[in-house]
Structure 1
Amino acid sequence: MNRKRQVVAEFARYLRTETVGGIVLLAATAVALLWANSPISGSYEALRDFHIGPESLHLSLSLGDWAKDGLLAIFFFVAGLELKRELVIGELNNVKAAILPVVAAVGGMVLPALIALAVGWGEPGIERAWAIPVATDIAFALGVLAITASGLPSSLRVFLLSLAVVDDLGAIILIAVLFTASFNVVAALVAVALLGLYAFLQHKRVTSPLLYVPLAVGTWVAVHAAGIHATIAGVALALLTRVRKDHYEHEAPALRLEHRLQPWSAGVAVPLFALFAAGVPVNAEALGALFSDKLALGVMAGLVVGKLVGIVGASALAVWFKAAVWPSGAGWRDITAVAMLGGVGFTVSLLIADLALDGAAAEQAKAAVLIASMTASLLAAVLLVRRSRVHQRIDEEA
């Protein structure tokens, strides 16, 4: 039994590494693309569209919907825990250090959206599809950074993490605003009450999962019933979790929860979402149509060009006006390399494409996200390796 527990613990530790998380996500994407473009593609669609859940609670959802509404809530909960920890006790508790990734994230949201809107103007669905390139995939981007940037200052990882979480939160707000067809006030009030109870229990140092698990599930159900995208429940709960440990505690609740849930997020939640979201046609006809479709071109230009220019431009302006400072040990060239990773939209961009568009238009938009994300990751890898070598050379000469 002890041997079995040791193996499980080692596997969980393995899944916590950002490199492995990125590889698992990439593998799930590859499986989805191969399966959806194989002779048995019908089985992929049948599985993705299979409905399960209680109809009485309006939770009879397809497996694809469960992945994007339920499993991604775990992903955002884990990301929110790390962001709050950095803001309260980490590098981002310095105001000027915290401002930079926030300003960069805003620049990296506004410019891609404007580019997508300008390029895709007049196309059906652009009134909501402009939001597709605003997001950065945390798991994928951090995975590329971990593989290629061993010589870069650790402050750049915090910058990228914070930027990715901020613009993913921005994307979630856009989802709440753009894709809330109806708003249930009673359900929203129930969600607020449950969040208040969660905060109260945290304040009173209650630690029992017998209380927190039903409370978290209830909050998710209430947010979903309110008509708001349910992943917001994960973010809200994370931001209410205590990050400072008391003298009698081995670790704070935020760190303990992150340690326990991160393997589930990296090894189950995000890969399963990718499996159901990334299965798009990639034959010659589909690719040809992709590069002649203005909406798809707008998505690709927004992610690859808009993200880079928006993040670097906003960061440079913030530093120039002395509102922020560069991450410790890094400069604008390093930010440029990291900013290229902002174009890895992937998870949340696929989510918005699913919500904004239907049918063939959604498939093309998701294919555009995949191509742009892969392009951005490859370009970023080249830039990061070069900057990493520069820093290693400087360290050796010092």
Structure 2
Amino acid sequence: MHNRPTDQPGGPLAALSRKLSAAAGNDAFGGTLLLLAAVAALVLANTPLSGWYEAVRDFRVGPSALHLDLTIGTWAADGLLAVFFFVVGLELKEEFVTGRLRDPRQAAVPVAAAAGGVLAPALIFIGFNLHTGGGALNGWAIPTATDIAFAVAVLAVVAKNLPSALRIFLLTLAVVDDLIAITIIAIAYTAGVQLGWLLAAIVPLALFAFLTYRGVRSWWILVPLGILTWYCVHSAGVHATVAGVLLGFAVPVRPTPRARVAHGTDADGVIRYEGLAGHFASRWGVFSTLFAVPVFAFFSAGVETGGLSGLGETFADPIVLGIVCGLVLGKPIGILGTTFLLTRLPFFRLEKSLKWIDMLGMSMVAGIGFTVALLVGELAYPGMEHLAGEVKIGILSGSLIAAVLGGILLSIRSGMAGNQRERLDV
């Protein structure tokens, strides 16, 4: 165990690590990086470089003997995104053990809002595609997921003068949204599970859990166990990102004499400790934010739009309409409707600083569905290339509309709040 506080100066590598951690922890920076990756993919897919982009995305690499000769795009979705879900699993467990979700009464409203924000978009998508046939209904879960990085980034940029409770509500909602999305992927988009491989995954997963509870942090021990768990889950036919969540849930949250990491000092110079979940989340969160998620976005967001005429035809498709309307309309309807109904009951109230107009803007921003939505889109229509482009256009368009509308409303509200504060100061 290393007992040196993490906020003490170290060598050049420690300084670089602190700078990367600070960048990864900045909401606006993470969202901007994700946006740049998506824009780069769209530009490459619609220029003469599209051939190069597709060749790189579809290039196969990996040992065929282990059935891992996957395309670069698949490695990004199944491999790199597993790291993202590992961090999600760590953060979810922290929230349930020591965070905002440990108090059921306090978490009830945003948790219910998250459920409403999943149900309403799904129903809207089903409404558009109920009579289309051809397996279109398989994409019902595409507009249900909120992209934490993008949504929180928009909030950080346009809602600086609004109550901090608005960000907390969005974060709690998005965390629960992720949990629901993980459950949907594990249940609705997993077929032909091979029980033997799934049982085999228990062995490295249990060993990983045992070692972390004993305080082991050595990457050369834990990473191979994580990869082995990932391989078993992947071979079982379950989407491999589920392995990331399970590994995240296996890490202890509360610091113990064995499983703890120095985390600075208090005012009296006494060393403060954090559990391994927080430590791993901060370490792997850097890799997830700065590399894993942007690379996934780069290889998933590239779609040929076909010009204005092609876009016109695409937006007439029920799948695209279901995704766009699900994100832009379904999310605010579900979130606000559920919140309103629940707060009519005794014992359930919104934070006093939150106003309904601000909640409307936040719920519209929650309609930004990107990372998980793209993943669900790939899982919903496997091998159906004619639908892949339409799904991506629907996700990108719906997310852009939700971001613009929610951002404008929150920006206006933030400006009004800032002006009011200035008048009070005078």
316, 340, 355: which is aligned to 1:316? 340
Taking the TM superposition and a 5 Å limit, the aligned residue runs for 1:96-115 are 96-115=105-124
Deviates more, 1:382-391 or 1:105-114: 382-391
Counterpart Cα distance in 2 of 1:9 and 1:204: 26
- Which residue does the alignment assign to 2:40? 31
Is the 2:21–2:282 contact (alpha carbons within 8 Å) kept by the matching residues of 1?
A: no
Structure 2: runs of 5+ lacking an equivalent:
1-9, 263-273
Q: Compute the displacement of 1:322 (Å).
A: 3.3
Counterpart Cα distance in 1 of 2:43 and 2:387: 20
Is residue 403 of structure 2 the alignment partner of residue 377 of structure 1? yes
Q: Deviation per CA, 1:71-94, whole angstroms, max 9, x where unpaired?
A: 111112222322322332223322
Is residue 350 of structure 2 the alignment partner of residue 340 of structure 1? no
Is the 2:253–2:278 contact (alpha carbons within 8 Å) kept by the matching residues of 1?
A: yes
Structure 1: runs of 5+ lacking an equivalent:
none
Change (3 A) 1:393 1:97: farther
Counterpart Cα distance in 2 of 1:68 and 1:3: 33
- Which residue does the alignment assign to 1:232? 242
Is the 2:208–2:247 contact (alpha carbons within 8 Å) kept by the matching residues of 1?
A: yes
196, 204, 207: which is aligned to 1:197? 207
Taking the TM superposition and a 5 Å limit, the aligned residue runs for 1:259-338 are 259-282=282-305, 283-322=307-346, 324-327=348-351, 329-338=353-362
Deviates more, 1:380-389 or 1:19-28: 380-389
CA RMSD of aligned residues (A): 2.1
Deviates more, 1:159-168 or 1:387-396: 387-396
Q: Deviation per CA, 1:204-254, whole angstroms, max 9, x where unpaired?
A: 333333322112111111111111111111112222222222367412211
Q: Compute the displacement of 1:2 (Å).
A: 4.2
Q: Deviation per CA, 1:253-278, whole angstroms, max 9, x where unpaired?
A: 11211111112111111111111111
Q: Compute the displacement of 1:286 (Å).
A: 2.4
Q: Compute the displacement of 1:334 (Å).
A: 2.6
Is the 1:316–1:332 contact (alpha carbons within 8 Å) kept by the matching residues of 2?
A: no
Counterpart Cα distance in 2 of 1:368 and 1:71: 24
Q: Which structure: greater helix fraction?
A: 1
Counterpart Cα distance in 2 of 1:24 and 1:305: 26
Counterpart Cα distance in 1 of 2:21 and 2:203: 34
Is the 1:176–1:228 contact (alpha carbons within 8 Å) kept by the matching residues of 2?
A: yes
- Which residue does the alignment assign to 2:95? 86
Is residue 27 of structure 2 the alignment partner of residue 42 of structure 1? no
Counterpart Cα distance in 1 of 2:213 and 2:46: 51
TM-score, scaled relative to structure 1: 0.93
Q: Deviation per CA, 1:69-121, whole angstroms, max 9, x where unpaired?
A: 11111112222322322332223322112222221111111110110111122
- Which residue does the alignment assign to 1:172? 182
Instruction: Give the secondary structure class of the aligned counterpart of 1:222.
Output: helix
How many residue pairs match? The answer is 398
Counterpart Cα distance in 1 of 2:121 and 2:163: 27
376, 385, 388: which is aligned to 1:362? 388
Is the 1:344–1:376 contact (alpha carbons within 8 Å) kept by the matching residues of 2?
A: yes
Letter of the 2:389 partner, please give it: E
Q: Which has the greater radius of gyration? A: 2
Change (3 A) 1:324 1:51: farther
Is residue 172 of structure 2 the alignment partner of residue 146 of structure 1? no
